[in-house]
Amino acid sequence: MELLTVFIYSIKHIFMPGEATPILVALGFVGADRRVLLRLATGLALSNGGIMVAALLIGLFAYQRSSHLILSVTPYLRFMIVAVFFFMALYFLLRGLSIGNQSAGTISGNKLDIITARPFITGLLIGFIPSTSDIGFIPIAPMLLLNRGINGLWITIITVWVGVIVSFTGVSCIISLLPIAYLKKRINRLENILYIVSSIIMLLLAAWLGYYIWLDYYS
């Protein structure tokens, strides 16, 4: 029963601000196909689990030596996802503006297609940005291990990881059901508009998240 609750919590957490889920949703919204979304989701899920395990291992073997460093770099680690959202906003804007110009040969769409061309690698890289709970695992790892035992700890972590994999792939499957490709054929300039709207949403998300992180650490 406890593991089921842990599993449900891990699903809820991918919708937490600061997780990479908006990127997945935005790419689906602009019409990336299911294979691209699933590759991105797999990359995200794998590296999310990897960073969680890495956090536990750092906590177990190197926390005493790195505690001051972790304390001081935490705000910067949290700003990394803001930077990714900002970069995505620019990417969507450039894509939105370039699509109509491709025939005129001004900007090649493929040259800008750095995310959908390598979705798995993109997912892996973004997923390696530690979330607040990953950072939080580092100091508590030794006492968790002592109290729960190695088996108890790994079973819980694997449950969280499975929850993350299920939710990222689930989100990509649901998003890919949107009839974006059909609507693009029916509505002129829809693709440009979707990219620009996604760009603005990503920018607002980056600003909102960055503002709250700034309030926490520097206000």
| Contacting residues toward another protein, per CB under 8 A | 2, 5-6, 9-10, 12-13, 16-17, 70-72, 74, 93, 96-97, 100-101, 132-137, 139-140, 143-144, 147-148, 153, 156-157, 160, 189, 192-193, 196, 199-200, 203-204, 207, 211-217, 219
Q: Which residues of 93-105 are buried (b: 16+ CB within 10 A; e: fewer)?
A: bbbbbbbeeeeee
CB of 142 to another protein, least distance (A): 9
Using CA atoms in the order 20, 21, 24, 29, what is the torsion angle rounded to 10 degrees?
-130
CA distance 160 to 156: 6
CB of 134 to another protein, least distance (A): 8
Given the complex with another protein, which of 167 and 176 has the nearer CB atom?
A: 167
Amino acid at 61: F
132-176 vs 21-29: helix crossing angle, rounded to 10 = 20
Q: What is the CA radius of gyration of the chain?
A: 19
DSSP state of 100: G
CB of 114 to another protein, least distance (A): 20
CB of 46 to another protein, least distance (A): 19
CB of 38 to another protein, least distance (A): 25
Given the complex with another protein, which of 97 and 121 has the nearer CB atom?
A: 97
Q: CA-based angle 46:204:211, to the nearest 5?
A: 90
Given the complex with another protein, which of 121 and 135 has the nearer CB atom?
A: 135
Given the complex with another protein, which of 186 and 188 has the nearer CB atom?
A: 188
Q: Is 22 exposed, middle or buried (0-12, 13-18, 19+ CB in 10 A)?
A: buried
CA distance 142 to 147: 9
Given the complex with another protein, which of 186 and 218 has the nearer CB atom?
A: 218
